[in-house]
Chains A and B, each alone.
Chain A
């Protein structure tokens, strides 16, 4: 993947957050709380659980559909970061040779089951996080976090991370283009050049940080980034959190897939 496409991918995630849908209109706090709850519940499942996790896909699917976020775009992003999850779980089948039955008469090595469980949990949590950003916008999330009581310093760091990701990426893109233009074939694209580029970018970033801090001081900065947005929670926000919470609770404590299976069998037979 070239740098340019990676950059436009992030830009697209940012653009999606400016839309206006039911999900976008929810208070950032409601979405942050629901997403945190979702992640916590999904992660709380024991390591051999796969089947019971499947109903949770309903949440990202529903949020994505109502928020008008293209499913293919989110899926691609999830696949792009999946190597992390694969590395975490890839050795499970080797280290965990026990056998578990997954269906009557079918049993597989426990390692494969826990590997599958990691992948499913990963897909669920990452897609939920991406959807949160795509439907709330990063600054919205920061405002939500701040109003939920997260420390001001932490939240302003996140805000700067967001603002200057774009500046740094543009800078990187320019440097990468300048390099590609003067490196023919593979010469010049090697690791040594890469390391030097990273070094240069780091120094530039430090200098830029100094200038930004100067600009902040020049406008009276005294430690906290002020905000004057006062969003009030509406009934729809409360309903969203409540509905999501109930759904998570049901899926956590009631074996929904097994019940569906039993029901299907009874109807069939």
Chain B
């Protein structure tokens, strides 16, 4: 199914203040792939994600989703296909109740009320948050907020799911349930994170980005066990791949 393709072709992006955040990024993600994006702080991960649904448009080069190029005019079409879960759930949940928030996207897609209600319940059920449906977001815990934030995006049934640090600041159990959730999606998935164990659990492929360019692209277990490559990028081996002493040795 070619409409689940996501292609970056020599994408460059310069912020208005002159910072060059992307310096010629190219890759192709095909249907059903799960791809992790890792890199040091400030390497350009967030900028890259913001290009996937047209929130930022490349200074040069092009981004294509399916057969549609991401342009100013095609952005609303792109946003139906690419769902982005942002890092901070407080930015993602802006409506007064969980129900209203999850319904926001489907209503904007113009679905009739009973379909919207179905989608809201289905999305909340999938993230195990159906009990929260009438709560206001400011009375949710961090883990609940993350789950609902994911529901707000899957309620729109996007072809490609993009996530920025989906499990940051979650307790281990909530983190584990987010991982289970991600693995239950048949969508194409793109996950940016510093949590390399999460990437290892969820993604088959991994991109390493440094100073706005891709320095490695390949199968996740191979890249995430390359201690030298990771160290060059301010990363270290996933905890599951390092014995306690090996980790200490790497620090030294």
Contacts and interface: CB of A to CB of B under 8 A. Distances in A.
Q: Is the interface of B mostly helix, strand, loop or mixed?
A: helix
Contacts of A211: 86, 88, 91
A212 interface: yes
Contacts of B109: 220
B138 A218 contact: no
A160 B104 CA distance: 14
A107 to B, nearest CB: 53
Contacts of A225: 95, 104
Interface string A136-170: 01110010000000000000000110111011000
Interface in A149-207: 159-160, 162-164, 166-167
Interface in A229-244: none
By CB atoms of chain B within 10 A, which of A14, A139, A163 has the most? A163
B131 to A, nearest CB: 15
A208 to B, nearest CB: 6
B55 interface: yes
Contacts of A226: 103-104, 107-108
Contacts, number: 80
A171 B78 CA distance: 34
Given A217-B55, A219-B156, A162 B96 contact: yes
Given A226-B108, A228-B103, A212 B96 contact: no
A159 B95 contact: yes
B94 A160 contact: yes
B94 A228 contact: no
A162 to B, nearest CB: 7
Interface residues of B, number: 34
B44 to A, nearest CB: 17
A218 B79 contact: yes
A29 to B, nearest CB: 17
B195 interface: no
B197 to A, nearest CB: 27
A208, A211, A215, A225: residue with the most chain B Cβ atoms closer than 10 Å: A215
A219 B152 contact: yes
B153 A139 contact: no
Interface of B: 50, 53, 55, 75-76, 79-80, 83-84, 86, 88, 90-92, 94-97, 100, 103-105, 107-109, 113, 116-117, 136-138, 152-153, 156
Given A138-B96, A208-B90, A220-B79, 13 more contacts: A139-B136, A163-B94, A163-B95, A163-B96, A166-B138, A211-B86, A212-B91, A214-B55, A216-B94, A217-B79, A219-B79, A221-B108, A222-B108
